[in-house]
Structure 1
Amino acid sequence: MVTSYYGGRFHGRKTASGERYDRNAMTCAHKSLPFNTLLKVTNPRNGKSVIVRVTDRGPFTRGRQLDISYAAARELDLIAAGVAPVEVLIYPQETQLSDIQTIQEQVTLN
């Protein structure tokens, strides 16, 4: 999947879900996934991952399937590239962020 990130001019604007875009939140835009779906996005070049929540529709640029927030792009080291291939894991719709954090803690302990 190819991703880009939201430019600064979108900060504070209302998204398709009705939420305001916060460049410091871990959110994303996808054309068809339900709002609030959680995605694990991984940069295959460095192995860094983030979990983002779908809050908007887009991107509307040909060849791109995901727009991530500035904060997510920063964590993945994608700021300089601007556009990059990423690996995406879609969590089941009923998954809550707290469920993912609990699983990660259990894996770390083992």
Structure 2
Amino acid sequence: MALYVKFTKLECVAQNERHGDEPYLKWKETGTRIWGWTPDNEGVIGTTWDLTKDLGWQEKPVPLMPVSSDSVIELWEYDPDTADDFLGFSEIPTAATPEKTYTLRGDDAEYKLTYKVVDI
């Protein structure tokens, strides 16, 4: 048996950019972008993404990620002309958990990320 994190939902509560964000999730251990195929300026207050759906080439479900003591998920906002904006992080629990929503805040933005840790 091994622990994995399953991401289910991301919601924009307060956006970083005036016209909307292009959020993406990065797995800190590997520096890998694991989700973030959103169109330009899609991240506005009230937008919710189902991270379990496969909506074609633009949006894929977030894969199950293996959990270790160093597991951290980071939320970033893509900027084509400047450095990307860091919008927050969550340390992943190292034990199985029920689904829970975590608040990520950074650079005047606020997002809610829902996930659970499962033992597979």
TM-score norm. by structure 1 comes to: 0.31
Q: Which structure has greater helix proportion?
A: 1
